Amino acid sequence: MMRLFLTELKKTRRRHIGLVYAAALGLMIIWALWAMSRMQARNDVITQQGYYYLLANFPLMNSFFLPVIIACAESRLCDMELKGNTFKLLCTMQPRHSIYHIKLLLSFLYLLFFTLAQTALIYILCRIFHVAQPAPAENILFFLLSGLTVGTLLIIIQQSLSLLSDNQLFPLFVGVAGTFFGIFSGFFSQIPIAYLLPWGYYMVFSTVGLYYEEASRTVTYYPVPFTVPFYIGFVVFGIIAYLFGKDRFMKKEV
């Protein structure tokens, strides 16, 4: 297993997949520094509710960046064998299911490093801006858990599409469409659009809401309960998607 993983890692050495995730994280850092500096100059929301501010906005940022990032990363991971038409050769040297699982493991590790770095970024930014609010450990834990869960399901979907598609434009189109869906679902909180497709669940699993006072033009952030039933249903759906995607790949003609 380790030998196969190291082989897969060597194949991706010149694919610069980590740089794709790093670029997304860098853009989030730039945005967060700009937004928090701007708001701190206008009012004390950042000083008093800095953690809630980031926990409310980072899921929206994930909806914006991660579906496309994951789609691009999976396409880069899978097109090596597709372009070279080497699946038949690989299947004579290793079990077919290991190809699916090794790629899935490598993709998850990229996502894990990104999510851990993003979570650490919350603490770092709040220290930089001298946030007086105590760190809400439970909300941060749910943010980490939901980010990994939603990202893993998107990886399963995109990897399955990439492995089953000879043309990588279709999986990339799905990732772009998912990005638009995830963004716009966050602006229709009264309509359950976000519950229909997995790309909207970054916002569904958010544990921080906001109330905008129009008269004073102030925003107040407040904690909301984590939706455990929806999380369980989402995990079940993820298992089904994994089993279906792996089954279709196992039956694919090479």
pLDDT at 183: 77
For 247, other C-beta atoms within 10 Å of its C-beta total 11
Q: How much of the chain, in percent, has pLDDT values that exceed 70?
A: 84
15-19, 94-98, 107-111: which has the minimum mean pLDDT?
A: 94-98
Task: Answer yes or no: is pLDDT of 97 > 90.
Answer: no
Q: What is the CA radius of gyration of the chain?
A: 20
Structure tokens at 116: 């851990």
If you average pLDDT over residues 13-35, what whole number do you get? 87
If you average pLDDT over residues 87-113, what whole number do you get? 81
Task: Answer yes or no: is pLDDT of 237 > 70.
Answer: yes
Q: Which of 39, 70, 81, 50 is nearest to 176 (CA)?
A: 70
Q: Give the Cα separation of 90 and 154 in Å (integer).
A: 25
pLDDT at 137: 93
pLDDT at 190: 59
Could you tell me if 52 and 136 are in contact, meaning their C-beta atoms sit under 8 angstroms apart? yes
Render pLDDT for 108-143 as a digit per residue (tens, 0 to 9). Answer: 999 999 999 999 999 999 998 888 888 899 999 999
pLDDT at 139: 94
The confidence band for 239, taking pLDDT boundaries of 50, 70 and 90, is: very high
For 202, other C-beta atoms within 10 Å of its C-beta total 28
Q: Give the predicted TM-score (pTM) of the model.
A: 0.90
Render pLDDT for 40-90 as a digit per residue (tens, 0 to 9). Answer: 766 666 777 889 989 999 998 898 889 999 998 888 888 776 666 666 666
